[in-house]
């Protein structure tokens, strides 16, 4: 009589227990999910802040300020009567016609101080621009030409950033008045900064461009890829497939894993001592930079390639061996094609790391001020992150926005590389 009752009672209390524990479990689950969402939100938020900051600071780097003037290339004014004579060119005053053209708008600015201020409306290389034009076209002497000059850094800052507390306006009140007037007349104008994408570094922010560093980065990455990828993949294949497992290979494995964690500046020191010191290679060239970055990237490539090889199902290996494929055939026909997506992904991640690397390149002299766009693996060059580093440390205010714009170019480069990696992996991936 009591038995069924107690049984039902037990069942009831157990159901109650389960219900209570269920509640607890769901609460835990909700809390756990909340942690995850919080973490992701924080990450996303930081990313948004970072991007907003960089873009809001840097987008002006893609805008140039120009001064377009009708310049009368007066021979008397320049003390020049034959523009094809290099001696005369060297002695001539090319600033004078620019000032003269500006005085056309401000006739009362005639004192020495005024003229000095007028000469600081256009960039410091404006006179060189006139000289180069005349050198190229000696018959322009005596004619009037419309020339677009980059505005002086201070004018550019005033045009783009007046009212921005992050910038201080270094123009005199008179210059500010002139700038406002020229702006309203359309003489001073803003436009897309093509100079930034077509020239190398310069002392003058309005003449400085990222192309030199971009080409330097491409050349350096080329060397890195050509050396690190084959060596890394070959090492991974040997270690994973052919090496006997003994003390020596264990030792090598431990060292490779450790190398991946060595600070990159150590690789720079190594490059300095070995490639430049011992082998006598030149400084600040893409070859040495590429070699150093290849050394730095090798452990990453080896580790990811080994992981990719390990993830090839043993059944595929057995299938090939069972038919009578030799070790080499198993590796070349089956393991490599299946591991290739993983290897490529790892390599591109390693390359992306190398692309953003600054420290080791500083040590091998790729931090030099280089105006020319490098034309080969042995010409002096700098790379994107180093260029950003140089600009960020420069005194002129115009370089601040260039540094931010440079970061955007670097980020775009990185995103392109990663997108390429994803595309490649999707293309090569095969299911089994």
Partner 1 sequence: MSISMSPAETTIEEGKTVGIPFSDDPKFHLRNVGVFYGESPAIKNISLDIARNEVIAFIGPSGCGKSTFLRCLNRMNDSIESCRIKGSLLLDGQDIYDPKRDVVELRARVGMVFQKPNPFPKSIYDNVAYGPRIHGLANRKSDLDDIVENSLRKAGLWNEVKDRLDAMATGMSGGQQQRLCIARAIAVSPEVVLMDEPCSALDPIATARIEELIAELSESYTIVIVTHSMQQAARVSNRTAYFHLGHLVEVNDTSKVFTMPEHELTESYITGRFG
Residue number, 204 or 321, with CB nearest to partner 1: 321
Minimum CB distance to partner 1, residue 242 (Å): 12
Dist CA 360 CA 417 (whole Å):
21
Minimum CB distance to partner 1, residue 255 (Å): 22
Minimum CB distance to partner 1, residue 325 (Å): 6
Minimum CB distance to partner 1, residue 360 (Å): 39
Count of CA atoms in the C-beta half-sphere (13 A) of 209? 20
Residue number, 53 or 318, with CB nearest to partner 1: 318
Minimum CB distance to partner 1, residue 44 (Å): 37
Q: Is the dihedral of CA 13, 14, 15, 17 positive or negative?
A: positive
Mind giving me the DSSP string for 301-350? Answer: HHHHHHHHHHTS-HHHHHHHHHHT--HHHIIIIIIHHHHHHHHHHHHHHH
Residue number, 236 or 409, with CB nearest to partner 1: 236
Lateral strand order in the sheet of 144-150: 144-150, 63-72, 188-192
Minimum CB distance to partner 1, residue 281 (Å): 43
Chain residues in the site for partner 1 (CB under 8 A): 244-245, 313, 315-326, 329, 333-334, 338, 430-432
Minimum CB distance to partner 1, residue 330 (Å): 10
Residue number, 247 or 430, with CB nearest to partner 1: 430
Minimum CB distance to partner 1, residue 335 (Å): 11
Residue number, 161 or 306, with CB nearest to partner 1: 306
Minimum CB distance to partner 1, residue 233 (Å): 20
Q: Which residues contact 426 (CB under 8 A, 6 or more apart)?
A: none
365: left (phi over 0), alpha (psi -120 to 50) or beta: left
- Are 272 and 363 contacting, i.e. CB atoms less than 8 angstroms apart? yes
Residue number, 345 or 404, with CB nearest to partner 1: 345
Q: How far is CA 295 from CA 31, 220, 226, 264, in A?
A: 45, 13, 12, 10
Dist CA 172 CA 52 (whole Å):
32
Residue number, 43 or 319, with CB nearest to partner 1: 319
Residue number, 191 or 313, with CB nearest to partner 1: 313
Residue number, 104 or 313, with CB nearest to partner 1: 313
- Three-class secondary structure of residue 37 per DSSP: helix
Torsion from C-alpha of 418, 419, 421, 427, nearest 10 degrees: 170
301: left (phi over 0), alpha (psi -120 to 50) or beta: alpha
At residue 68, what are phi and psi to the nearest 5 degrees?
Answer: -105, 120
């Amino acid at each position: 009589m009591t038995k069924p009752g107690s049984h039902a009672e037990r069942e009831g209390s157990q159901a109650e227990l389960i219900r209570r524990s269920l509640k607890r479990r769901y609460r835990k689950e909700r809390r756990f999910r909340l942690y995850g969402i919080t973490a992701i939100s924080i990450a996303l938020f930081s990313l948004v802040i970072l991007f907003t900051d960089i873009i809001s600071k840097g987008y002006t780097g893609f805008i140039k300020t120009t001064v377009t003037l009708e310049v009368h290339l007066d021979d008397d004014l320049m003390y020049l009567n034959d523009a094809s004579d290099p001696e005369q060119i060297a002695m001539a005053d090319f600033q004078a016609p620019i000032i003269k053209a500006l005085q056309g708008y401000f006739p009362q600015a005639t004192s020495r101080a005024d003229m000095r201020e007028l000469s600081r409306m256009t960039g410091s290389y404006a006179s060189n621009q006139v000289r180069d034009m005349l050198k190229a076209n000696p018959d322009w002497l005596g004619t009037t030409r419309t020339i677009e000059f980059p505005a002086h850094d201070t004018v550019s800052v005033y045009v783009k950033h007046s009212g921005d507390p992050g910038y201080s306006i270094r123009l005199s009140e008179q210059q500010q008045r002139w700038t406002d007037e020229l702006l309203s007349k359309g003489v001073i104008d803003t436009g897309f900064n093509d100079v930034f994408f077509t020239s190398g570094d310069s002392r003058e922010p309005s003449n400085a461009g990222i192309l030199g560093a971009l080409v330097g980065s491409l050349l350096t990455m080329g060397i890195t890829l050509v050396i690190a990828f084959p060596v890394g993949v070959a090492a991974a294949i040997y270690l994973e497939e052919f090496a006997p497992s003994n003390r020596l290979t264990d030792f090598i494995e431990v060292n490779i894993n450790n190398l991946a964690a060595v600070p990159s500046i150590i690789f720079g020191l190594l490059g300095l001592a070995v490639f430049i010191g011992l082998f006598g290679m030149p400084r600040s060239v893409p070859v040495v930079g590429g070699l150093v970055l290849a050394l730095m990237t090798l452990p990453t490539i080896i580790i990811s390639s080994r992981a990719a090889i390990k993830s090839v199902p043993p059944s595929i290996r057995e299938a090939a061996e069972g038919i009578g494929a030799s070790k080499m055939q198993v590796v070349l026909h089956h393991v490599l094609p299946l591991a290739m997506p993983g290897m490529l992904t790892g390599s591109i991640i390693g390359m992306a790391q190398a692309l953003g690397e600054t420290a080791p390149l500083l040590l091998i002299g790729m931090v030099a001020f280089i105006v020319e766009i490098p034309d080969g693996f042995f010409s002096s060059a700098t790379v994107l992150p180093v260029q950003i580093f140089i600009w960020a440390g420069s005194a002129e205010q115009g370089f601040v926005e260039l540094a931010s714009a440079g970061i955007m170019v670097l980020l775009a480069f990185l995103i392109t590389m990663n997108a390429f990696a994803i595309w490649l992996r999707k293309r090569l991936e095969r299911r089994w």
